[in-house]
């Protein structure tokens, strides 16, 4: 019996884009003018947001521009808000909207919202017609400092967080930092936790900001927030460029997340904010590190002091 062996070589490609352009503005434009009037690309766009973001005053003109979900060739879909809607059903709802509107592979999905909307929109873009472009406009601090950067997409499944997903980076990410002023306190605090994690791992100056400037940070000082966002974007961008598929050093960004995801799943997805869970997870990781002699006790005590400044849970059993 003769067996013929064949080998097929494939280029290493990632759907989405090979470069993400990040635009940071400390001013809030009229979003109708910005996206619909002054920005008229040759391709069609499916805008995706959630009910909470759609109800914001700064979104009013943009939302009202759509007649039954349509503005010229563009479409708008408004999903439910929060972690309970981070499901495969929401992903399929986005895809079905695109199918029903005859979107092509040359078109684009645009997510305007927090981490859930960014993840869902990018995931839907990655699987629609085997991958089309996506743009993101994160509206929460957590999405600005973490979720929108680096191409991770996904949804929860069977009570497991982010169990299904892809790598599909956005070609453009728009940061309008005034969105942060609309956040509920727990959502703002959630984003701070991810930013603190970044400072703890990669940026001593950012770490010191959290240690020494808690009053300004908690009062949402605009200059401090812009500095925090820029530092987080820079740090994560550098890591993602070196390890896009999370084969090694990118996994460092998961500090606190093993504990956090376990806590979120046990409590029920959406009951505890992701950032609150991450902050608690950082405390657990620091405690274990001390027990294994990976760090000094004085450093662990300092971490716990900072966690308490922002009212993050520090007890072993929250």
Query: Hey, which residues are catalytic here?
Result: 130, 152, 194, 236, 246, 250, 254, 257, 261, 274
Three-state DSSP class for residue 271: coil
Dihedral angle computed from the Cα positions of residues 20, 26, 28 and 33, in that order, rounded to the nearest 10 degrees: -50
DSSP class of residue 252 equals: G
Answer yes or no: are the C-beta atoms of 210 and 306 closer than 8 Å.
yes
- Show the tokens assigned to 58: 């700064």
Give whole-number Cα distances, 138 to 112, 218, 295, 312, in Å. Answer: 6, 20, 35, 24
DSSP class of residue 60 equals: H
Phi-psi region of 103 (alpha: psi -120 to 50; beta: other; left: phi over 0): beta
Task: Give, for 144, the enclosing helix (H) or strand (E).
Answer: none
CA–chain centroid gap for 137, Å, is 10
């Amino acid at each position: 019996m003769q067996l013929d062996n064949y080998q097929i070589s494939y280029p290493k490609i990632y759907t989405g884009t090979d470069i993400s352009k990040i635009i940071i503005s400390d001013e809030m434009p009229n979003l109708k003018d910005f996206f619909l009037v002054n920005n008229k690309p040759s391709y069609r766009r499916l805008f995706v947001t959630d009910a909470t973001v759609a109800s914001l005053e700064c979104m009013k003109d943009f939302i009202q521009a759509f007649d039954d979900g349509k503005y010229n060739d563009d479409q708008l879909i408004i999903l439910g808000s929060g972690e309970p809607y981070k499901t495969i059903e929401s992903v399929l709802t986005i895809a079905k909207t695109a199918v029903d509107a005859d979107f092509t592979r040359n078109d684009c999905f645009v997510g305007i919202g927090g981490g859930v909307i960014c993840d869902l929109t990018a995931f839907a873009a990655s699987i629609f017609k085997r991958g089309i472009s996506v743009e993101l406009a994160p509206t929460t601090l957590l999405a600005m400092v973490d979720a929108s950067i680096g191409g991770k997409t996904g949804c929860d499944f069977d009570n497991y967080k982010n169990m299904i997903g892809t790598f599909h980076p956005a070609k453009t990410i728009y940061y309008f930092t005034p969105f942060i002023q609309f956040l509920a306190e727990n959502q703002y605090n959630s984003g701070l936790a991810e930013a603190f994690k970044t400072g703890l791992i990669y940026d001593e100056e950012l770490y010191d900001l959290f240690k020494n400037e808690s009053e300004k940070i908690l009062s949402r000082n605009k200059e401090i927030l812009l500095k925090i966002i820029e530092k987080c974007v820079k740090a994560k961008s550098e890591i993602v460029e070196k390890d896009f598929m999370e084969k090694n050093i990118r996994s460092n960004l998961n500090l606190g997340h093993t504990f956090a995801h376990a806590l979120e799943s046990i409590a029920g997805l959406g009951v505890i904010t992701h950032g609150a869970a991450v902050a608690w997870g950082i405390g657990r990781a620091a405690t274990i590190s001390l027990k294994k002699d990976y760090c000094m006790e004085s450093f662990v005590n300092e971490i716990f002091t900072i966690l308490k400044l922002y009212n993050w849970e520090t007890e072993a059993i929250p």
